[in-house]
Chain A
Amino acid sequence: MSANGQPAPLLRLEGINTYYGQMHILQDVNLEVREGELVCLLGGNASGKSTTLKTILGIVEPRTGAVILDGRDVTRDSTAKRIERGLAIVPENRRLFGPMTVLENLELGAYLRPRADLQEDLERVYSIFPLLYERRKQLAGTLSGGEQQMVAMGRALMARPKLLLMDEPSMGLAPVLVERSFEVIQEVHRAGVAMLVVEQNANVSLSIADRGYVLSTGRVVLEGKASELLTHDELRKAYLGR
């Protein structure tokens, strides 16, 4: 807890400027996720949402600015180091290990933890996604897109992250499963995991989030309480287009 009674920020981006070659993508991005908080990151296509996550993970390095994780500046640290500090990600294109089974994919999510804990985590994941239990011996690459999304989420949860990053977890899911995936997000959130969720579906994600940020061409154009953003005119104009 910091002095003002707020939970301490788990993640803080300070004045981030990220480039791809000559292209200035993220421009002065400031962003915060506090412990146990569910934050959603909204924005149209190519607004820099995935780039923000990549910057947090250290897959791309910002030219200026700092990434502070759990009170420590990790801007120059390797991806592996940051992951060890309690990050996990559900990547945009899932990136499962195709020729390996669902069970193997899940177990690999918890690579660094002692095996004894594995069973408990597996059961937790199976209870969220019963289908994965049935499919545990199937090769991940042969699953349907929606099933693969479940594996990707399950695999990230296996790491028992403090902060879970999700890039469009509902992408490619049928409407029922979209709802289900938001339920899952809420469930995980209730278990105390802080989350930064990238979503296209502003209404649904804001309805479950604590706070939100809206990116537009690499700048944070709006931020605030989710409930306030939901009714914000500018958000409707800028992002929902109506």
Chain B
Amino acid sequence: MSEAPSGPRIGVDEWVASAEERRQKTLSARAERAFERVPPAAKLALLAIPFALYPFLVEDPYLMQVGINTLIFVLLALGLNVAVGWVGLLDLGYVAFFGLGAYLYAAVASDYAGRHWDGALAIPAIAVTVAVAGFLLGLPSRRLVGDYLAIVTLFFLQLFLVILINSTFTRGPNGISDIRPLTLLGREITSLDGYYWTALVALVTVVVVLYLVNQSRTGRAWRALREDELAAELMTMPVNRLKLMAFAFGASIAGVAGAIYAPAQGAIFPASFDLILLITVYAMLVLGGAGSLLGATVGAVIISASLEALRDPEDASWLVYIAVVLVLLVLIKPWWRGLAVLGATAALGLLVHEAAERWWPSLVEGTTFGQARIDRLVDGWVLMPADFVTEEGLPAGAAARITYLLFVASVLALTLIRSSLWRTVAFVPVLYLAAVVWQNLMLPQPAVARFILMGALLVALMAYRPQGLFGKARVEIV
């Protein structure tokens, strides 16, 4: 829509005449403009390549399973992006649509239901049904905004879960476990690879559709609605209809994700669609930058992969230490100051460890739960008190709990320091304390530590880049 109009006298005022001269000629500015000119299809292909290579690079079935889950997560984040990122509707009921999609699949293809629909029929049918459900949820909610909408939709999610858990029809908390594999046009998918490719095809389709919708009149109207609902209405946009469309559209993507998830897992439980999942998907969107397709995708991959890696004692410590070093080097400016903080932290650790060995040997007599090389490496650096944690890795006494609290308090205190120099200095003991807490208390409890770390990551990101990795900063009209 941007062809040059033939009629108007272009360039009649000063600004217009000098615009070309004012344009930055630096390399990065040129590169940015060149990147803008890359056709979207090429960008999509570029993005799809790593996903397409993944099954060829990994053999481990566990990693294939992780890959499938990651694709499902990306689908969920993209669907959530419609209502939350584009239209700005804080929909906290979203994962109910994922659950609905999964349970609907169980209803049309399981031994329990005694049916086995072909995926070519089941998936579109589920997409439509869940879209209708999204529409219905939207009906009572369309006049609500912000906090009110959030509470009402959260209520609907809870209602959905309560029904799942208490209904004998859905077999309550035990879930449905004899789900039939996905069949596509008569061919049954039994391998993990098969599910991976199915999910990837669904993902690419969804991305293309979302891209086109975003470019369309409707997509533009959605974004306008997010900015200023009254102005949108004054521009003749049918505000209510647009909101309902967004609800339905996002819901249907979640429904499709559920319809692939159910047969890929073979069993589904109400607990798979609870608040934890909702928070995780929101975290993905927030991390990547709400409103951006690339952001939702990257955010979902980062969080899904990190949560998985943190589960594994072989990888967890690597991930944490590398992330901390990277974040420090990026956040602290100038960069050599970040380097100095790292050096000082290392020195502090060696000093403390040396002193403890000499005067309080019990402080270094514990053993770590970590199994990575780096865990053995930091053994001579981090304090590891004996009997700090129980066999199961729970804090064993008051000392351990106090250390935990001290760590949390010191992080909070860090945010209160105004002077950038003193804050940099304060980083050193806090980082060391963090390492002590990680090695002794978090590592043995990955299930808890995962979410604490995810929260920490988001807080750090929001402080420095509130719009997320790929989100556009809001432009306020003042």
Chain A positions near chain B (C-beta within 8 angstroms): 57, 59, 79-80, 83-84, 88-89, 91, 93-100, 103-104, 107-109, 111-112, 115, 118-119, 122-123, 126-127, 130-131, 133-134, 136-137, 139-142, 148, 155, 159
Distance from B293 Cβ to chain A, minimum over Cβ atoms (Å): 16
Chain A residues whose CB sits within 8 angstroms of the CB of B474 once the complex forms: 98-99
Segment at the interface with A among B65-73, B116-124, B216-224, B376-384: B216-224
Closest to A122 in B: B5
Cβ of A79 and Cβ of B224 under 8 Å apart? no
Do residues A111 and B5 form an inter-chain contact, with CB atoms below 8 A?
no
6 contacts between A and B (CB under 8 A): A79-B234, A97-B223, A98-B475, A127-B5, A127-B8, A159-B236
Given A108-B237, A123-B7, answer yes or no on A131-B231 (Cβ-Cβ < 8 Å).
no
B15 and A83: CB pair below 8 A? Answer: no
The residue on B at minimum CB distance from A141 is: B475
B interface list, Cβ under 8 A from A = 1-3, 5-13, 15-16, 19, 217, 220-221, 223-224, 227-228, 230-239, 472, 474-477
| Cβ contact of A99, chosen from B3, B19, B475, cutoff 8 A | B475
Chain B residues, Cβ within 8 Å of A108? 220-221, 224, 232, 235, 237
By a CB distance below 8 angstroms, the chain B residues around A115 are 1, 217
Known contacts: A134-B11, A141-B477. The answer to whether A99 contacts B472 by CB under 8 A is: yes
Contact of A91 among B217, B231, B472 (CB under 8 A): B231
Tell me the nearest residue of chain A to B473, going by C-beta.
A99
9 A-B pairs with least C-beta separation = A141-B475, A127-B8, A123-B5, A95-B231, A98-B475, A126-B8, A134-B16, A112-B236, A97-B227
Contacts of B217 in A (CB 8 A): 107, 111, 115
Residue of A at shortest CB range from B7? A123
CB of A152, distance to nearest CB on chain B (Å): 10
Chain A contacts for B9, CB-based, 8 A:
127, 130
Majority DSSP secondary structure for residues of A touching B: helix
**Residues of the B chain whose Cβ atoms lie less than 8 Å from the Cβ of A123:** 5-8
B221 to A141, Cβ gap below 8 A?
A: no
Whole-angstrom CA separation of A72 from B428 in the bound complex:
73
Q: A127-B5, A130-B10 are known contacts; what are 4 more A-B pairs with Cβ within 8 Å?
A: A83-B234, A95-B477, A96-B477, A108-B224
In the bound assembly, the distance between CA atoms of A134 and B239 in angstroms comes to 30
How long is the Cα–Cα vector from A122 to B6 in the complex, in angstroms? 11
- Pick the residue among B220, B232, B472 that contacts A104 (CB under 8 A): B220
CA distance in complex: A88, B233 (Å): 11
Asked if A130 and B235 make an inter-chain contact with CB atoms under 8 angstroms apart, the answer reads no
CB–CB B228/A97 < 8 A: yes
Cβ-closest chain A residue relative to B224: A97
Closest to A95 in B: B231
A91, A119, A130 pick with most chain B CB within 10 angstroms: A130
Cα–Cα distance between A123 and B2 once the two chains are bound (Å):
11
* B416 smallest CB distance to A (angstroms): 32
Contacts of B224 in A (CB 8 A): 97, 100, 104, 108
Q: Which residues of B contact A99 (CB under 8 A)?
A: 223, 227, 472, 474-475
Are B476's CB and A98's CB within 8 A? yes
Given contacts A97-B227, A98-B477, contact A155 B235 (CB under 8 A): yes
Q: Which residues of B contact A80 (CB under 8 A)?
A: 233, 236, 238-239
Known A134-B10, A139-B475; contact A57-B234, beta-carbon cutoff 8 A: yes
Cα–Cα distance between A13 and B355 once the two chains are bound (Å): 87
A111 to B218, CA, bound (A): 9
**B260 nearest CB across to chain A (Å):** 33
B235 touches A103 (CB 8 A): no
Contact A134 B227 (CB under 8 A): no
Q: Establish whether residues A148 and B234, one from each chain, have CB atoms under 8 Å apart when the complex forms.
A: no
Pairwise interchain contact B231-A136, C-beta atoms closer than 8 A? no
Q: Report whether B1 and A141 are in contact in the complex, using a CB–CB cutoff of 8 Å.
A: no
Residue of A whose beta carbon sits closest to that of B17: A134
Contact: B238 with A127, CB < 8 Å? no
